[in-house]
Amino acid sequence: MAEAVLDRLVGPDDDVDVLVLAHAVPDITPGRATAVWLSHVCPGKPLAFGLCDQGTGAAFTGLRIIRDYASTGIRRAVLIVVEQAELPYDTGDAAVPSGHAAVGFLLGDGDVVLRVDSVRQRSDVPATALEATDADTVVLGAALAGAATGAARVLRGPAGQPYTGVWWALAEEIESGASGRMVLADYDTELRHLSVAAVERVGAAVPVAS
């Protein structure tokens, strides 16, 4: 799935400097370094990061990494968020997506502009720690469905997609041509981890389901 997203996001001449693959559900082939493989097939052979074991916070950490590298002068970065619905063992109480899904974002120069205003992540806090915002649009994760945001427009990701849901909603919003300040917020009930990101524009976005 991640490679399919990458093929749609990046052209053969669009060299990428940093690539981040974020996921919460473990890869069913744990001996495979998927982020390294994506770097191998991605134009520019970018520096690659694979993020997991952070629940819903993994993709937000990916934004933090890309934002920090942007200050060093990188030209293009890719964030890919994936989740799979099947594992060959019992997952206990862990949330399992209802379907396979992947979504990707191209950030950088040219037709896309890296505009990540802020990324905040807080550990060991309740879901009620989410503060109201003056953003034009807020995208909420499932655990924050009842939160009072103060925004005029509130979006939610598709049901059954606990890790890609908010990013899928954001991708659809960008594809529709939306502008203005947008805030994403997600909460991991198991880790008690709250993640919030404010963006002006995140560039091209590609949602892919299989």
Q: Give the CATH number of domain 2-209; options: 3.90.1150.10, 3.50.50.60, 3.40.50.280, 3.40.47.10.
A: 3.40.47.10
Model confidence pLDDT, tens digit, residues 117-173: 889 999 999 999 998 887 888 999 988 987 878 777 888 888 888 899 999 998 888
Share of the chain above pLDDT 70, in %: 86
Query: Taking the mean position of all CA atoms in its chain, how far away is CA 113?
Result: 17
Residue 34 CB coordination number (10 Å): 18
Say what the pTM is: 0.88
